[in-house]
Amino acid sequence: MLATVLCPLPAGRPAAAATTERLVVDRHSGLAILGFDPVAYFTDREALSGKGEFERAYAGAVWRFCNEGNLAAFASAPQIYMPQFGGYDPTGVARGAPVPGNPRFWLIWNERLYLFYSGEARDAFARDSEGILATAIPGWAALQPKLAE
For residue 21, the model assigns a pLDDT of 53
For residue 6, the model assigns a pLDDT of 29
**How confident is residue 32, by pLDDT bands cut at 50, 70 and 90?**
very high
For residue 15, the model assigns a pLDDT of 31
Burial of 28 per CB tally in 10 Å (0-12, 13-18, 19+): exposed
Strand pairing partners for 36?
A: 49
Taking the model in full, what pTM does it have? 0.84
Which residues make Cβ contacts (< 8 Å) with residue 77, sequence separation at least 6? Answer: none
For residue 2, the model assigns a pLDDT of 37
How far are the Cα atoms of 62, 75, 84, 85, 140 from residue 56, in angstroms, in the given order?
6, 8, 18, 20, 26
Average confidence score pLDDT of the chain: 86
Domain ranges of the chain: 2-78, 84-147
